Amino acid sequence: MALTGLDIYKLLPKTNCGECGVPTCLAFAMKLAQKQTSLDQCPHVTEQAKEALAGAAAPPIKLVTIGVGEKKIELGNETVLFRHDETFYHPTALAITLDASLPAEEQARRIERINGLSFERVGQTIRANLIAVRSAGDAAAFAAAAKVAGEKSELPLVLVTENPDEMKAALEGVAGRKPLLCGATPENVDAMAALAKEKACPLVIRADGLDALAQLSEKATAAGAADVILDSGARQVAQVLAHQTAIRRAALKKFRAFGFPTIVFPSGGDPMTEAVEAAGYIAKYAGVVVLSGAEPWELLPLLTTRQNIFTDPQKPIQLEAGVYQVGTPDEESPVMVTTNFSLTYFTVEGDVDASKVPAWIVVVDTEGTSVLTAWAAEKFTADSIAQAMKKFEIESKVKHRKVIIPGHVAVLSGKLEEASGWNVLVGPRESSGIPTYLRTSWQRQAA
Ligand code: SF4
C-alpha cells in the first residue's frame, strides 16, 4: 500500500525549514505522496526514515533494463491493473527468435530481417526490440550465434539456454551488451544467478506454477540476481493469462517475489495463432513476448496493438501545430486544414500523399483532439483556424486564397470566410475521400 501524505509527514523532521523548496514538512509530504517530488530534496531526513520511506515508495514492479545504449529496453515500474486507472508505462518488448542451429548465411539473413522490423505510425517508430538466440544444445554454435547477433544488430539479446556452461560461453562474447539470460530453473538457479550477478545481467527464472515460481524468485534474488524476469512455465493460453493476471495482482499488493516483469512464449503453431496469442499477452501484462515470426505482416499488427495499449489514455498523441508540407508544394498547391491529433493528421497526410497532389496542411492546435471532437469542444472553430492560418503565415506560401476544410465542419465555411478573408472550399467528410477530391474537385477549382 502506498503511504499517505500524513504517513510520510510522521517520518519527516517537522522543522519546516523550507530547504526542500516548499514552506512546510507537511506540504513536502503531500507532494511526495503525489510523486511530485523526491525524498532527496530534503537534506535533513534521517537514515532511518529514508529506509522506511524508500521501502514503501519502491515501485511494486521493479524496473528491469535489458541491453545498453539507445536500443536498451526498460520493463516494469507498472503501478496499475487497468490502463484507465493511470497508464501503462513500459511497453511489452517483442523478441524474435534466432536458432543457433541455422546455417550461418540464414542466421545473417534473419538478423537483417529482424533489424528491418521497424515502422512509422502516427509519427512514432514502432519496432521489434530483442533478438532471442536459442541454443540447440551445442555450446560452440550457441556462442557463435550470440556473437554474430551482437555484431550484426544493435538490438539487445536474449540468450536462451538452461545450460550454465553454454550460457557462460555465450556471455564471453556479449556480456557487455547486458543480455537477458533465459534462464534459471529450480535445477540450475545457483549457477545462473551467479552468472547474472557476475555479469550484471537480468535473469529469467522459470518454474512450473506460481508457488514454485515465488520460491524460485526468492532463491534467485537471495543468490544475487538483482533483476529478475518471471516465467510461470505456462504455455497454454488460458493458463498464461491467468498466471499473468495473478502475478500482476500480487505484485501490486507488494508481494515482493512477484515484483518483477514477466516473459511469455506463445505456443506457436501457425503465424495467425501466434499473433492472436501474443496480442492477448501484450494486453495482459507481459513484459517480453518471444515470437518465432519475423515477417513484417506478422509483426505490424502486434506493434500497432502494443502502441495503442501503451499510449497514455489521458494524453492523446499529438503533433505540433504549424504548416506541414506533403510532397513539394508550391504557390499554386492546395491548402488544407486539420487538427493536431496525430491519428487525424497522419491519416490526412497519408491520403494527401496517395493523391500525388503536393499540398500544404495547416495544423491547428486542438489539444490532440480529432476534427469532430475538437469542433464540439469549440477548439476547432472559424476563429482558431483563421488564427492558425495567420500565425503560420500560410499566405506567404501560396498565391491563391483558397482553403480546404474537412467536410464534417462544413458549417464553419461562412464564418471562416469572414474571419480569414479566404475562399473556403469544403473537402470530403472522410479522409479517404481526399485523393479523389484533390485529383478532381481541386483541379477544377484551381483551373
Ligand atoms: Fe521539512 Fe525537510 Fe522540507 Fe525542511 S527540507 S521543510 S525538514 S521536508
Mean of pLDDT values over 144-150: 97
The verdict on the CB of residue 42 being under 6 Å from ligand 1 is yes
98 phi, psi to nearest 5 deg: -135, 110
Question: DSSP for 11-55?
Answer: HS------TTSSSSHHHHHHHHHTTSS-GGG-TT--HHHHHHHHH
Asked whether residue 229 falls in the same domain as residue 174, the answer is yes
User: Which of 6-20, 45-59, 72-86, 169-183 is predicted with the least confidence, judged by mean pLDDT?
Assistant: 45-59
Distance 26 CA to ligand 1 centre (A): 9
Mean of pLDDT values over 2-17: 88
Give a yes or no: residue 44 inside a domain.
yes
pLDDT-derived band of residue 397, with 50, 70 and 90 as boundaries?
very high
The verdict on the CB of residue 123 being under 6 Å from ligand 1 is no
Distance 28 CA to ligand 1 centre (A): 7
Atom of ligand 1 nearest to the CA of 17: 4
The verdict on the CB of residue 323 being under 6 Å from ligand 1 is no
Asked whether residue 114 falls in the same domain as residue 228, the answer is yes
Give the range of the structural domain holding residue 17, as residue numbers without chain letter.
5-57
The greatest distance separating any two alpha carbons of the chain, rounded to the nearest whole angstrom, comes to 79
CATH number of the domain within which 41 lies: 1.10.15.40
Tell me how far apart the alpha carbons of residues 135 and 356 are, in angstroms, rounded to a whole number. 49
Distance 13 CA to ligand 1 centre (A): 7
Sheet (strand 335-339) strand order: 322-326, 359-364, 335-339, 402-405, 423-426
The verdict on the CB of residue 19 being under 6 Å from ligand 1 is yes
Q: Which of 8, 19, 39, 45 to mutate to test the pocket of ligand 1 (most atoms within 8 A of CB)?
A: 19
DSSP conformational letter for 384: H
Residue 363 in contact with residue 319, Cβ under 8 Å? yes
Give a yes or no: residue 407 inside a domain.
yes
From 278, 301, 297, select the one nearest 289 (Cα to Cα).
278
Residue 111 in contact with residue 155, Cβ under 8 Å? no
Residue 266 in contact with residue 289, Cβ under 8 Å? yes
The verdict on the CB of residue 20 being under 6 Å from ligand 1 is yes
Distance 30 CA to ligand 1 centre (A): 12
Q: Tell me, yes or no, if the pTM score tops 0.75.
A: yes
Tell me how far apart the alpha carbons of residues 284 and 206 are, in angstroms, rounded to a whole number. 19
Give a yes or no: residue 317 inside a domain.
no
Give a yes or no: residue 114 inside a domain.
yes
From 135, 63, 129, 85, select the one nearest 282 (Cα to Cα).
129
Give a yes or no: residue 149 inside a domain.
yes
428 phi, psi to nearest 5 deg: -70, 155
User: Is the pLDDT confidence value at 54 over 90?
Assistant: no
User: Is the pLDDT confidence value at 1 over 60?
Assistant: no
CATH number of the domain within which 334 lies: 3.40.50.11600
Q: How many domains does the chain have?
A: 3
DSSP conformational letter for 91: P
pLDDT of amino acid 351: 96
Asked whether residue 267 falls in the same domain as residue 406, the answer is no
Distance 60 CA to ligand 1 centre (A): 26
Amino acid identity at 226: A
Residue with cell 496517395: 354
Give a yes or no: residue 316 inside a domain.
no
Measured from the Cβ of residue 45, the count of other Cβ atoms closer than 10 Å reads 18
Give a yes or no: residue 257 inside a domain.
yes
User: Which residue's CA is the closest to the ligand 1 atom numbered 2?
Assistant: 42
Q: Which of 9, 10, 12 to mutate to test the pocket of ligand 1 (most atoms within 8 A of CB)?
A: 12
pLDDT of amino acid 171: 97
Asked whether residue 121 falls in the same domain as residue 270, the answer is yes
Q: Which of 260, 286, 310 is the last residue of a domain?
A: 310
241 or 38: which carries more pLDDT confidence?
241
User: Is the pLDDT confidence value at 164 over 90?
Assistant: yes
Asked whether residue 269 falls in the same domain as residue 365, the answer is no
User: Is the pLDDT confidence value at 341 over 70?
Assistant: yes
> Which tens digits make up the pLDDT trace of 34-53?
777 888 899 999 988 888 88
Residue 231 in contact with residue 258, Cβ under 8 Å? no
Asked whether residue 17 falls in the same domain as residue 142, the answer is no
pLDDT-derived band of residue 296, with 50, 70 and 90 as boundaries?
very high
Asked whether residue 285 falls in the same domain as residue 359, the answer is no
309 phi, psi to nearest 5 deg: -70, -35
User: Is the pLDDT confidence value at 31 over 90?
Assistant: no
From 196, 203, 111, select the one nearest 151 (Cα to Cα).
111
Asked whether residue 53 falls in the same domain as residue 68, the answer is no
Asked whether residue 109 falls in the same domain as residue 252, the answer is yes
Distance 256 CA to ligand 1 centre (A): 30
The verdict on the CB of residue 25 being under 6 Å from ligand 1 is yes
Residue 236 in contact with residue 267, Cβ under 8 Å? yes
Residues 6+ apart with CB under 8 A from 416: 382, 385, 386, 403, 405, 422, 424
User: Is the pLDDT confidence value at 319 over 70?
Assistant: yes
Asked whether residue 302 falls in the same domain as residue 431, the answer is no
Q: Which of 8, 10, 15 to mutate to test the pocket of ligand 1 (most atoms within 8 A of CB)?
A: 15
Tell me how far apart the alpha carbons of residues 443 and 272 are, in angstroms, rounded to a whole number. 44
Q: Which of 310, 344, 367 is the last residue of a domain?
A: 310
CATH number of the domain within which 147 lies: 3.20.20.20
Residue 279 in contact with residue 307, Cβ under 8 Å? no
Mean pLDDT, the chain, rounded, equals 94
Asked whether residue 164 falls in the same domain as residue 191, the answer is yes
Q: Which of 310, 339, 372 is the last residue of a domain?
A: 310
From 388, 397, 390, select the one nearest 332 (Cα to Cα).
397
* % of the chain exceeding 90 in pLDDT: 83
Distance 5 CA to ligand 1 centre (A): 14
User: Which residue's CA is the closest to the ligand 1 atom numbered 3?
Assistant: 20
Asked whether residue 79 falls in the same domain as residue 225, the answer is yes
User: Which residue's CA is the closest to the ligand 1 atom numbered 4?
Assistant: 17
Q: Which of 10, 14, 16 to mutate to test the pocket of ligand 1 (most atoms within 8 A of CB)?
A: 16
Residues 6+ apart with CB under 8 A from 395: 389, 401
Distance 141 CA to ligand 1 centre (A): 59
Give a yes or no: residue 80 inside a domain.
yes
User: Is the pLDDT confidence value at 2 over 70?
Assistant: no
Residue with cell 515470426: 293
Mean of pLDDT values over 343-360: 95
The verdict on the CB of residue 169 being under 6 Å from ligand 1 is no
Amino acid identity at 41: Q
